[in-house]
Structure 1
Amino acid sequence: MKIGNPADKPVVTPAATPSSTAATTNAAPSAPSAPGQPTEASAQVALSSTATSLLSAGDAEFNAGKVESVSQSIERGEFTIDAGVIADKLIANAAELLSGGAPRA
């Protein structure tokens, strides 16, 4: 469990500079490739660590049985909270944020 996940913050993209827009507008158009021929890559895209973690987060599976079990325990009033585990996770999360490390799954 993460508190204050950076994914909650809006992503800010830098504005285009005149030199970068001039380079794209003055570039010669490439010739279209023949049908069935692979096209040559014309741009390189690099994902930030946040974008990469968001992409992998979409693939995360959850245990529906465990969720149902916890839900029933809460309804019956039998669910106990281990403050030590929560404190350990908070400390680990703070240390991760301070060190600039990648989030752990």
Structure 2
Amino acid sequence: MKIGNSPEGTASPPKAEQRPAARKPEATATAETARAAAPAPAPAASAHVAISSAAQLAASGGPDDGSFDTAKVQRISQAISEGKFTINASAIADKLVANAQELLSARANKH
């Protein structure tokens, strides 16, 4: 069942088929149009937001310390496309375990 459909299967006609509303006199419509075109006043500030220097650094893409090696990415991409790229599962597992231990110890030190 679609949302908005009644169980009886009756539906309201599409907007194009509905009877148009009575038009207002031109003078009134022009005055309303002028009010609608005027920009609404900006709401008063309800909160003050401060962005930390770490967040600003992260938003800017981080420091340009050369940690991204475009040439290495190109070499790996080429090796993958040629079918020559090998995966060292043991090294990946060791790094995952080391990262998990680091996270757990950092969490334990917080509490």
TM bucket, shorter chain: 0.3 to 0.5
TM-score (norm 2): 0.40
TM-score (norm 1): 0.42
Structure with max Cα Rg: 2
Higher RCO (CA 8 Å, separation ≥ 6 residues): 1
